[in-house]
Amino acid sequence: MNPEQQERSEREQAVRTLPPAPYPEPAPGRLRARRQHLLNEVDRQARPAHSRPARRQGRRLALVLGAAAVAGATVFVLGLGTGDGTSPRKAAPASAASVQLLERAALTAAAGPLPKVRAEQYAYVKVIGHTTVLSEDAAGEMERLREDESMEQWTSVNGGERTLQRKGGQDQLLPDAPGKGNLNSPTYTFLAGLPTDPDALLKRIYEDVEKNHGSGSDSTTGPDQEAFVTIGDLLRTSAAPPATTAALYRAAALIPGVVVVPDAVDAAGRKGVAVARVHDGERFEWIFDKDTVRLLGERTVLLKDNAWGKAGTAVTSVAVMSSGIVNGSGQTP
């Protein structure tokens, strides 16, 4: 199949996957420009290493060695951001279907109401779901456990107050106020200050990725996967201005290797279509409602058998149940 036939096939897949757009489709020239940007990026990445800046090699969260579930046990947690070892040089541009779906999501987000947010308010989010844990007991036996990831969280809009988390009916204040915030611990004020130009926003994310997961670190994720995970975390765990959310979706469309999965199910059992990226035998999915193109949640699916489970297993799955701006910590929208 030549490139034109592949492009046509991907667009037909997108049309079959999603209902008619509630907003005007982006102009063909805009989509062609995004595709050309991706092709230019792939060409740039393919140059010899000495002709371009060194790219980081990271692995976000990786396999976390934690406290024992029982005495004498070692616990390995498969986090939402586990990564891969695929070289960015080998990644194809985002598929036409994924670019179209992400543009639809961006248009939907941008059309949302712009709340009048005050510094003393809180950004609220509620998620439900699970992650997979491998537990090794004193006898050396391994077993897979499912760890609850459900929680509610209230983060100070301006970062001046400590964050409240509610898990299993128990409330706890996180140790420190987030301050202005950052990509790993965002506040509404921080998100509102990010660039809304997709290229500039992605550049900002890659700069952070390079700093924390670049050469010399133990991270093995790779910059493209790390950027994809970072954007997914921001979309899932925080309330952001509509323009920022739209920019995050459009920035994700510039990351090589992004594809569409026509059928996916979130942790709440809601069916949808996913934008995904495959790395190291795992597929990282952002799941959208097929009718509203609203983000439902995300999950990580094994593509081959390993210690975490059989191929097809969702080793992590989290659904976004509610988010918004509230007047006080402990309140809901």
What sign results for the dihedral spanned by CA atoms 198, 216, 53, 85?
Answer: negative
Predicted pLDDT at 44: 40
Is position 247 within any domain?
Answer: yes
pLDDT exceeds 60 at position 29 = no
Task: Name residue, tokens 């297993």.
Answer: 313
Q: How many domains does the chain have?
A: 1
Are 318 and 122 in contact by the 8 Å Cβ rule? The answer is: no
Is position 333 within any domain?
Answer: no
Task: Give 93-157 as a 3 state SS string.
Answer: CCCHHHHHHHHHHHHHHHCCCCCCCCCCCEEEEEEEEEEEEEEECCCCCEEEEEEECCEEEEEEC
Alpha helices in the chain (DSSP H): 3-17, 28-45, 96-110, 188-192, 198-213, 223-237, 242-252
Cα–Cα distance for residue pair 264/287, rounded to 1 Å: 7
Predicted pLDDT at 311: 95
Is position 293 within any domain?
Answer: yes
Is position 332 within any domain?
Answer: no
Is position 269 within any domain?
Answer: yes
The boundaries of the domain holding residue 8 are 3-326
pLDDT exceeds 70 at position 42 = no
Please tell me the number of Cα atoms within 13 Å of 85 on its side-chain side.
Answer: 3
Is position 144 within any domain?
Answer: yes
DSSP state letter for 271: E
Predicted pLDDT at 9: 65
Kindly give the interhelix angle for 96-110 and 242-252, rounded to the nearest 10 degrees: 180
Task: Name residue, tokens 């005495």.
Answer: 71
Please list, in sequence order, all residues whose beta carbon lies within 8 angstroms of the beta carbon of residue 29, skipping any fewer than 6 positions away: none
Are 164 and 329 in contact by the 8 Å Cβ rule? The answer is: yes
Amino acid at 324: G
Which residues are 271's β-sheet partners? 265
- Round the average pLDDT of the chain to a whole number and report it: 80
Is position 331 within any domain?
Answer: no
Are 264 and 271 in contact by the 8 Å Cβ rule? The answer is: yes
Residues 259-294: tens digit of each pLDDT: 999 999 999 999 999 999 999 999 999 999 999 999
pLDDT exceeds 50 at position 79 = no
Higher pLDDT, 136 or 323: 323
Cα–Cα distance for residue pair 175/195, rounded to 1 Å: 29
When pLDDT is averaged across residues 203-209 and rounded to a whole number, the result is 94
pLDDT exceeds 90 at position 89 = no
Query: Highest mean pLDDT range out of 18-32, 190-204, 207-221?
Result: 190-204
Percentage of the chain surpassing pLDDT 70?
Answer: 71
pLDDT exceeds 60 at position 19 = no
pLDDT exceeds 90 at position 6 = no
Please give the backbone phi and psi of residue 252, each rounded to the nearest 5 degrees, phi first.
-60, -30
Residues 91-112: tens digit of each pLDDT: 799 999 999 999 999 999 999 8
Percentage of the chain surpassing pLDDT 90?
Answer: 60
Cα–Cα distance for residue pair 222/209, rounded to 1 Å: 9
Picking from 52-61, 72-81, 94-103, 131-140, which range would have the lowest pLDDT averaged per residue?
Answer: 52-61
Task: Name residue, tokens 């929208």.
Answer: 333
Among residues 200, 199, 223, 201, the alpha carbon closest in space to that of 211 is found at 223
Are 198 and 205 in contact by the 8 Å Cβ rule? The answer is: no
List C-alpha distances in Å: 78 to 61, 85, 246: 8, 16, 29
